[in-house]
Structures are given as structure tokens and as C-alpha cells.
Amino acid sequence: MSKVLIIGAGGVGSVVTRKCAAVPEVFTDIMLASRTLEKCDQIARDIGGDRVKTAQVDADNVPELVELINKFKPDMVINVALPYQDLTIMEACLETKTHYLDTANYEPKDVAKFEYSWQWAYHERFKDAGLLAILGCGFDPGVTGVFTAYAAKHYFDEIHYLDIVDCNAGDHGKAFATNFNPEINIREITQNGRYWENGKWVETEPLEINKPIEYPGIGPRDSYLLFHEELESLVKHFPTIKRARFWMTFGKQYINYLNVLQDVGMTSIKPINFKGLDIVPLEFLKAVLPEPASLGEGYKGQTSIGCQIRGIKDGKERTYYVWNNTEHASAYRDVKAQGISYTTGVPAMIGAMMALTGKWAGKGVFNVEQFNPDPFMEALPKYGLPWHEQIDQALPVEK
């Protein structure tokens, strides 16, 4: 018997709402609020049966959020708007004594930089208020943290090497589109790469390190080393890790388009004056690119995301690979979404369910790997994300 307020009616928000609506025994009352009310109404109409209430909200505005939360009185807010809104929504949760969950860590609008420091700084305030905040509960971050915690709990005494591998071998038929919010996606990819080695961060040029990696059921795909936020929390919570890296696949065409857009200045976040108006080129680019929520229909192929781990158990070397593959078409059949929104939205719903049913409990700000991974791992296949594991076999990332 719980009430949830979902903020953000984009690709991920639509999946979270549909998935929560399908579990009435946990999510008895649901409200979807976003900047554009019509998008919330459309999702609520599709779900039907008056299952979902809707509201308009500007999540950059704390008093507006507080007013909405006080009116609806949810037990938890699921934030699937943009990382820019994390802190305002956390402030509103503190003011209204409401639990919090998100899928992406805070980043300031004017600097393309993401790290947990801003949100971890809220730990004492959430703790003192007796509230739970769960950070990064999508797939990556999210399931990748749970996969690592599961490996640490069941298969290793010490994890030494962690490689998170994220492949999208899908084809949406568009010349160029991003699978989640274009602004956030392009900011992430065009930054310097970074990985953890022997107690410090090693920085690379953007997309400097790449190699083909073999993905289950897909084959080899060009994979690029990026910085990804879960590396920061995982090396903190599993201090035996000697090296942690994150790899993501990109097709040649995607990289070509990205290079052109970058070379002509369209990915810049510095405002320029155009006909008397200050505009940010990347925000303008976002406005002309397809919305992630619009890519589902006809999207072919699959994603494969997992963790490849090397460490020791009972004094012996051991390897472990755990992964999920998701077909874009089956995500569309289930909730009219493409695979990236799906693999993010389903874990966000499961994380909220873990908290609201008391399986994940705590006071303060937590990353997902700090909780018991078992009930979450059990729920993944039940709600659409089956996973597979291989023990003591050569790791594809090391070949």
C-alpha cells in the first residue's frame, strides 16, 4: 500500500509509470508529473482505468515541488527527469519528509561534469530526517551495482578487476539519435574518459581507448572506454578493486555524426547569441533530435549490459560474468518503449518496490550496491530483465 510520485514523462518515465501501474499490490496510488502535462496525460490515457493521476511541475523549483508533494503525499518520489533536477527534488523530499530514488547523478547545467559528491553531501540530512535516498537505480548505474554486489556476496572474497560492458546492437532506423536524453548523452560521451587503477583515476582523451569486445548473442562490437558514474561509487564501496573500467559500444556512423556535430560547435554548452537571444548549441541540438520516447516502434536488435569480474575466492583466482540482454522489440511489446528506456525504467520500479516493501531499508543517502542484492536479482527476471551468469570462463573483455 504505497503512493509514488514519478517526476519526468520522457522515455524512462513512461516505462516506470507503466511498470508501477502493473504492480497494484505495491503501488496503490501513482502520480506522474512533468514539465509538459500533455505527455503525462498521454501516458495515463494509454494505461487507462484512472490508474495514474497527472500534474504539471517545474522540478527546478523547490516550492512548486513541495506544494505538489504536500498535496499528493507520496511515500516516495521517483526522479526520472534530468540529472539537473536531482538536488531540487532531494531538497523538496527533505522538506516534505518523503523518500527519494533516481537513476542518474547530479550534474550542474553549466559544467559537463558528473560526480556523486553533491548528492553524497545530503547523507546526514536524510539520516537525521529518518529518510531513505537511493541513488542511481537504472541499469548503469543501477543493475551494474547490484550485479557487482551479488558477485561480491556469492562468488568472491575480493574483487580485483571490474569491467562494465554496455552494448546496444540495435537499429532504430534514424540517421542519428540518442537512446536517452540527447543533451545528457552527448555531454557524457564528449567528456574525457576516466578509469580507476591502483588507487587513482587515469584520464584519457574522449573515446581515446577502444577495442572490439564480444557480447553474448551479438558478437564483437567496437567498444569505447568512458567514465561512468557507478565507477566512483563501486570503487568506494568495494575498496579491494584494483582496476575498474566502463565500456560502451558505438557504431561508426554514430561516431562520424558526433565528430561532425562537435567540429561545427553544435555540442557546445557555452551560450551563443543568435538574433538577440542567448542559446546553448547543445540544447538547440536536443530540440531538433528525435526524443528517446519516440524511438521504440520498429527498433530492431538487442542490448547487452553486464559486469565482467576477476578476483579471488578461497585463495584461488576466479572470473565471473553476469549480464542481461534485452530485445528492443520485446520492450516495445511490453510497454511501448525502446530497450534503453526499458532497461532503465524497470530497475527504477524494482528499486522503489524494494524500498516500499522494506527489503531495502536505511536512513541516509545510499548507492544500490550498499543493499542486499538478492531480492533485487530475484525481481529482475520477474519484471522483464532476465540475467545470465558464467563462472570461471575467459572474460571477453580480456581477450
Q: Which residues lie near ligand NDP (CB under 6 A)?
A: 8-13, 34-36, 39, 57-60, 80-83, 85, 103-104, 138-142, 180-181, 184, 291-293, 340-341, 344
> By C-beta, is 79 or 319 nearer to ligand NDP?
79
Cβ at position 368, least distance to ligand NDP in Å: 10
Cβ at position 168, least distance to ligand NDP in Å: 11
Indicate left, alpha or beta for 48 from its phi (over 0: left) and psi (-120 to 50: alpha): left
Cβ at position 181, least distance to ligand NDP in Å: 4
> By C-beta, is 168 or 308 nearer to ligand NDP?
168
Residue nearest ligand NDP, Cβ-based: 10
Question: Which pairing describes strands 302-313 and 158-168: parallel, antiparallel, or unpaired?
Answer: antiparallel
Residue with the three cell numbers 568512458: 226
> By C-beta, is 120 or 155 nearer to ligand NDP?
120
β-sheet bridge partners, residue 275: none
- Measured CA to CA, the distance from residue 150 to residue 238 in angstroms comes to 12
Distances (CA, A) of 115 to 227, 285, 315, 389: 10, 24, 34, 30
Phi, psi of 256 (to 5 degrees): -60, -50
> By C-beta, is 2 or 343 nearer to ligand NDP?
343
> By C-beta, is 187 or 221 nearer to ligand NDP?
187
Cβ at position 12, least distance to ligand NDP in Å: 3
> By C-beta, is 29 or 229 nearer to ligand NDP?
229
- Measured CA to CA, the distance from residue 148 to residue 144 in angstroms comes to 6
Q: Mark 136-167 as b/e (b = at least 16 C-beta within 10 Å).
A: bbbbbbbbbbbbbbbbbeebbeebbbbbbbbb
The greatest distance separating any two alpha carbons of the chain, rounded to the nearest whole angstrom, comes to 68
Cβ at position 340, least distance to ligand NDP in Å: 6
